[in-house]
Amino acid sequence: MPRDKIHINFVVIGHVDSGKSTTTGHLIYKLGGIDERTLKKFEDEANKIGKGSFKYAWVLDNLKAERERGMTIDISLWKFETNKYNCTVIDAPGHRDFIKNMITGTSQADCAILMIAAPIGEFEAGISQQGQTREHVLLAYTLGVKQLICCINKMDDKSVNWSYERYMEIIVELGEYLKKVGYNPANVPFIPISGWFGDNLLEKSPNMPWYKGQNFVEALDSITPPQRPTNKPLRIPLQDVYKIGGVGTVPVGRVEMGILKVGMTIQFAPSLLQSEVGSLEMYFEPIPEAVTGDIVGFSAKSIKYDDIRRGFVASDIKNDPARECLYFNAQVIIINHPGQITNGYTPIIDCHTAHIACSFQEILSRVDRRTGKVIEEAPKFIKTGDSAFVKLVPTKPMCVEVFAEYPPLGRFAVRDMKLLRKKTSRKDESINLFVYLKIILHIYGQILKKKFFCSASRQKVLDLKDS
């Protein structure tokens, strides 16, 4: 991918069957990402199994199970260019059974495309308490994706019939929820589209003359370019690991911070295995280095395929390498939980691409959500609406970072019973989830930084210093 344009990663999220893959596939086709012959091949193959309407979705849904079931299971990536940006689109699954894959994809994005199905009943199902629209929006904000574009899809449906009234009904209700989560609806474009027919993807739709706003691609070009911290130590949470003949083990992930170069010696946390970067590719094209924001694959010499996995973090051995942590302190806000949370509660923590159970070993204090003032020391329990400092202990080796130093690896979501339960507290007047990985000596900010736990020797590093 040429470097003459800024690189942007965006993830497509939303309730199951909202048209995410179909819309994205159609957009890729319109922008020249695939040719007419390839699309005709997909259409013929889809017609053979009675799924002709999935021809655009099959651009991204490559797995046999995905095509047979008619739903996205794992994330898939594709590249295309707009007038302003080089784009990587991450197509995320909408079904709640594959929420881990959705979280993995969202954690790598700069911007989220929220796909909303406009037909009567479909929007209501997604925005309901058990709908994936709510959970996906909350997860996106929690994982640090602060820019959002909302597409009101399936405007061609008979129950909608390009209706302005239905469009307004949806954006009013959706806008209220976005505001509760932390997004400013005034800064979110709500674009009525038809992913199947292509209305408002590249050109203004003649079927909706009442809409005067941006089309989909114009909205993408209006995204504010993210700041890339290339001067920070290298951090690459692994998305997947492949075994390629003639090459060996190839980890794939997004460079969250720093720069990755061929020949660099890297360390994988929490295992502390070390390797030299033999080659580096982006979209199957060799590149000499990868900068912050790039999603790349690189060969890891002398590393076996089974020795590293999704959730590991690659870093430069010579510059503050990542390591396993023994425990970490976190500030959390309980968004939704049916009962009381006490010491010993062990949900799943979703931090960058890692999904690991962590125990609430000790609830340190309950604090005011707005001011941070301590309300109660060592409470016996916390419940929905509470904000608290807690000490968490991973049940398996895990690598997380200090939010103030490495934000992408220092924020997390907590899931239990397949429902997003909690997120942490306010930063700059917006709700944000973050981990401190520090021992709090005085609640008002005087802290000591605790060094990581060394999994190789299984001994604590006792080097403590003022942060």
Q: Identify which of 116, 37, 23 has the alpha carbon closest to the alpha carbon of residue 78.
A: 23
In this prediction, residue 2 carries a pLDDT of: 52
What percentage of the chain reaches a pLDDT higher than 90? 37
Mean pLDDT of 227-256: 90
Q: Nearest Cα to 314, choosing from 339, 297, 329, 330?
A: 297
What digits encode the pLDDT tens for the residues 449-459? 333 544 433 33
Task: Name the pTM for this structure.
Answer: 0.77
pLDDT for 467 beyond 70: no
pLDDT on residue 417: 53
- For residue 420, pLDDT over 50 is answered with no
Count other C-beta atoms under 10 Å from residue 266's C-beta: 25
CA distance 112 to 14: 10
Nearest to 333 by CA among 408, 407, 421: 421
What is the model's pLDDT at position 331? 83
d(CA 100, CA 354): 9
pLDDT of residue 426: 34
- Report pLDDT for 159: 93
pLDDT of residue 86: 87
* Mean pLDDT, rounded, for 256-283: 91
- What is the length of the chain? 467
Please write the tens of the pLDDT for every residue from 423-449.
443 333 333 333 322 222 211 122 223
When comparing pLDDT for 100 and 176, which is higher? 176
Average pLDDT for residues 319-336, to the nearest whole number? 85
Comparing C-alpha atoms, which of 102, 73, 99, 81 is closest to residue 90? 102
Confidence of residue 309 (pLDDT cuts 50, 70, 90): very high
Cβ atoms of 434 and 331 closer than 8 Å: yes
In sequence order, the 6+-apart residues with CB closer than 8 A to the CB of 65 are 73
435 in Cβ contact with 354 (< 8 Å): no
Q: Closest by alpha carbon to 106, among 136, 133, 129?
A: 136
Band (pLDDT 50/70/90 cuts) for residue 337 is: confident
CB under 8 Å to 295, separation ≥6 — which residues? 9, 77, 88, 108, 239, 252, 253, 254, 255, 282
Mean pLDDT of 13-39: 88
* Rounded to 5°, angle at Cα 146 from 78 and 83: 45
Furthest CA-CA distance within the chain? 67
CA 105 to chain CA centroid, nearest Å: 5
Do 172 and 185 contact (CB within 8 A), yes or no? Answer: no
pLDDT digit string, tens, across residues 34-65: 888 888 888 888 888 777 777 888 787 777 77
Q: Looking at residues 114-139, what average pLDDT do you find?
A: 90
Report residue 412's pLDDT band, with 50, 70 and 90 as the boundaries.
Answer: confident
Which is more confident, 7 or 415?
7
Residue 361 has pLDDT above 50, yes or no: yes
Tokens matching residue 203: 């050109």
Q: What is the mean pLDDT of the chain?
A: 82
pLDDT by residue (tens digit) across 67-86? 677 777 777 788 888 899 98
> Measured between alpha carbons, how far is 116 from 60 in angstroms, rounded to an integer?
19
Q: Which two tokens stand for residue 458?
A: 């299984």
